[in-house]
Amino acid sequence: MIAVVQRVLNSSVSIDRSVVGAIDRGLNVLLGVAEGDTEKDAEFLASKVVHLRIFEDDSSKMNRSLLDLGGQMLVISQFTLLGDCRKGRRPSFVKAAEPELAQRLYHHFVARVTALGISTQTGRFGARMQVHIVNDGPVTLLVHSR
């Protein structure tokens, strides 16, 4: 499982020009599920992202987590994160999980983040979405479960 974690001032996701999820200060997470991922990957990644110390403290050092901040998270499924571009000019998605597994683990990740006390919004799994992100910093990290 892979997550692109972006520290944001605000973020929203729309489908057909209608906002389906929006947050203020917090994290925008683009989540990709790989073949072979399990609930343990989702649980590990949820805990890791929620506890990442990437928000500034009073000394302007990245020393606070999303949990410390009381921030929000917007989670958007994105299978293209598993695209392999090493050969040719067209990405291969053979390492991406099948949609049924990916959807189940995506929802498990969201449930774990919520259970950890984070106000969580989502996009819609499998939908064509437009994402608006106001990156803060910018701070963007790649986090893997393996």
> Model confidence over 28-73: pLDDT tens digits?
999 999 999 999 999 999 999 999 999 999 999 999 999 999 999 9
The pLDDT value given to residue 27: 98
Give the percent of the chain with pLDDT over 70. 100
Q: Which of 6, 55, 72, 78 is catalytic?
A: 78
Strand ranges (E), 1-146: 2-15, 18-23, 26-32, 55-56, 62-64, 72-77, 119-122, 130-144
Query: In this structure, what token pair is assigned to residue 111?
Result: 């449930």
Q: Which of 55, 79, 121, 122 is catalytic?
A: 79
What are the structural domains of the chain?
Answer: 2-137 (3.50.80.10)
Task: Tell me the three state secondary structure of residue 146.
Answer: coil
109 catalytic? Reply is no
Task: For residue 86, give Cα distances in angstroms to 31, 82, 93, 102, 111.
Answer: 21, 12, 12, 23, 34
The pLDDT value given to residue 1: 98
120 catalytic? Reply is no
Confidence of residue 83 (pLDDT cuts 50, 70, 90): very high
Segment 90-97 shows an average pLDDT of 96
Question: What is the C-alpha R_g of the chain?
Answer: 15
The pLDDT value given to residue 132: 98
79 catalytic? Reply is yes
Mean pLDDT score of the chain:
97
Segment 101-119 shows an average pLDDT of 98
Segment 73-81 shows an average pLDDT of 97
Q: Which residues fall within 8 angstroms of residue 64, CB to CB, at 6 or more apart? A: 53, 55, 56, 57
Segment 93-111 shows an average pLDDT of 97
Q: Is 103 exposed, middle or buried (0-12, 13-18, 19+ CB in 10 A)?
A: middle
Q: Is 76 exposed, middle or buried (0-12, 13-18, 19+ CB in 10 A)?
A: buried
**Strands 26-32, 72-77: pairing kind:** parallel
Confidence of residue 100 (pLDDT cuts 50, 70, 90): very high
Segment 132-137 shows an average pLDDT of 97
Partner residues linked to 122 by β-bridges: 75
Confidence of residue 91 (pLDDT cuts 50, 70, 90): very high
